Chains A and B, each alone.
Chain A
Amino acid sequence: MRVGLLPNEGGGSYRFVIIALAIVGILISSLPVIVVTIMSFSAADNTGFPPEALSLRWYWDVIALFTADDASSAQSVVDSTLTSLLVAVIVMGISTFVCIPLAYALARGDRRIRGGMELLFTLPLVFPLVILGIAFLLIAESLRVDIGIWRIVIPHVALVLPFVLRNCLGAMNGISVEIEEAAVSLGASPLRAIWDVVIPLMKAGILAGLIFALIISFNEFTITFFMYTIDVSTLPIWMYSRTVSSLDPSTLALSVFIIVADVVLIVLVDKLIAGRASLF
């Protein structure tokens, strides 16, 4: 039987405190989103909260945006969404592909090297994004070649590496060498043992990493703001030019759409990778 960290019954003050703190955490995460979602169903033009009457009118506005030819920006919202998706998927693929072997090497290798490497791969998180944005832009402009979508992919990969690596490493931590040794002693080659034994055990961490990469890249704004061009632009950039002008309920309805899109992506990745044995 699994001894949970959260007892199902009894436990007195411990259970109470843990649950209370978790609820505070959930509220802090979700309150603004809840408010925004409620407001997006408002029937009024202004944003008095709570709304006096409800309607779907702002959602129809947003649907019209997606279907009509939109002249308010260089890229239509459909183009930007496709670019965002493409970038996010490439970033997700690359970052996971490079982080799994690295996590394995770090977990099994020299502990001193591990500290240094972990630090190196945390760096992208530490740098203020604005200055990274300018640096990437100056470098990209000095290349004098049009690298298309890679203008955005390359910085995004750097940005998500810390998240993907941390999650993969966290998963590796729980996998003992003995399991692998058992596989090898049964005649598997070491690489085979990694593929058949270690990677399936890492699944939860890999999945978390994939989802982080996807979400962060899909929603990244600051660096993309410097890197986008008229030809290659993303959804958050498009969204920005809308939200700056006015925060009317249609913007909020659009935000709800984006949240739904993200959730669909998360579930999709979850299904694709984890299959039936979904770990989330």
Chain B
Amino acid sequence: MVNKFSRRTVLSAGAGMATTLAMPSILRAGSHQPLAGKELRLLTWSDNTGLAVLDHIAKPFEEKTGARIIADRTGSTSEMVAKLRAAGDRAQYDVITLAGVGAVELAGDGLLAKPDLNLLPNLEQVDPRFRTGADGHGIGYLLWTGGLIYNTKTFKEPPTSYAQMWDAAHKNRLFLPPSTWTDALDTIFATGKMIGGDGTNADEAFAKLAELRDSILTFGENPAQLSELFRSDALDIGGVYAPAFYAKELMDPANSNMGATYDVDEGFFADLMYTIVPKSKPGDDDVVHAFLDFTLDAEVQGVMAEAVLNGPINQNAVMSEAAKASPFIIKPEQMGEAAVVHDKSFIADVREDWINRYNQTLS
């Protein structure tokens, strides 16, 4: 009896049934569903950006190809890296979406396969700067962008500098990103630039950040918590933080009190996210490459950009007029002077030290 509960049996029975049911349509669809019956195991974020992956990438992919996607939607990038490291050469996933730093780390461990770029025709349309990374192990996905989040009740006009965070009027109404997020490194960088350096002047930046120590209400460990604090008018400003978490709230500032801006003197931050493929993936190559290619599709990129306010990397991304006009979505052509894209090797060098110092300076 106990066996009845085994997920595997349930799954295979389900899959069997699905195939039987799908038979006629496969026969009819013929070559239109070349991947029918294949499975792809996907690991993505637990937050709303992961949910968007399922709605706007996985579902249409299933409909188009007939493949079945089993998605695991748990964790942040660093938790994904921890799980994959522990699993070593027995990965349970075929494709993972994650932030740049995670791809670089896993590639460094030798756990990632190099996708065959010839099987990814959509890559042609991608801005050449964002095609691959992590030494060819990561395929560009979307741009994660960070700026300032502010309270629309307090600020009639969007703030134009990170220096606003030091304003005594916002004491105890300020938030910062948690030390463990890449956004914290961005914050250090932004502080460095604000006081006249190039961003790598960490010592001065930390001295300046230390002044905020008693002004911080909380660190934004949990995006939903922050949105509640904005809604109840308990926060004024904070950053560097990603508008991506707040696609819904930013559309409705009257209720959420939330606004976001990239238009600050010190610039905004952009980080290329990747899709990666573990070396020991359980699934087949063709379905994996088809999926990677699908994430770069002009329509998919446009829909995703609108859903989670990430920057599309496909230059032909199809976006609605509203999305094109949206100040929260950074388009590749806007990645000019104002965008700060970190040198990954520099970040890798200072990361541990900066995380520790950020913690020690502020909490």
Contact = CB atoms under 8 A, between A and B. Distances in A.
A and B touch in the complex (CB under 8 A): yes
B87 interface: yes
Interface in A130-182: 134, 137-138, 141, 144, 148-149
Chain B contact residues: over half helix, strand or loop, or mixed?
Answer: helix
B118 interface: no
A65 interface: no
B41 interface: yes
Contact of A46 (B7, B46, B92, B231): B231
B71 A74 contact: yes
Contacts of B248: 246
Contacts of A137: 83, 86
A82 B90 contact: no
Interface string A219-235: 00000011011111100
Residue of A74, A83, A243, A247 ringed by the most chain B CB atoms within 10 A? A74
B47 interface: yes
B87 A83 contact: no
Given A83-B5, A83-B7, A244-B222, A73 B73 contact: yes
A232 B7 contact: yes
Interface in A242-258: 243-247
Interface string A53-78: 00000000000000000011111000
B257 to A, nearest CB: 11
Interface residues of A, number: 36
Contacts of B51: 72, 245
Contacts of A102: none
Nearest to A144: B90
Chain A contact residues: over half helix, strand or loop, or mixed?
Answer: loop
Given A72-B51, A229-B92, A247-B228, A241 B73 contact: yes
A47 interface: yes
A241 B48 CA distance: 9
A222 to B, nearest CB: 11
A138 B86 contact: yes
Given A46-B256, A244-B47, 12 more contacts: A82-B5, A141-B88, A148-B6, A225-B74, A225-B79, A226-B86, A230-B70, A231-B8, A233-B72, A244-B223, A245-B48, A245-B224
22 contacts: A45-B255, A47-B231, A71-B59, A72-B51, A73-B72, A74-B70, A74-B71, A74-B73, A82-B5, A141-B88, A141-B90, A148-B8, A226-B82, A226-B83, A230-B92, A230-B93, A231-B11, A237-B74, A241-B73, A244-B47, A244-B223, A245-B50
Interface of A: 45-48, 71-75, 79, 82-83, 86, 134, 137-138, 141, 144, 148-149, 225-226, 228-233, 237, 240-241, 243-247
Interface of B: 2, 5-8, 10-11, 41, 46-48, 50-51, 54, 58-59, 70-75, 79, 82-83, 86-88, 90, 92-93, 222-225, 227-228, 231-232, 248, 255-256
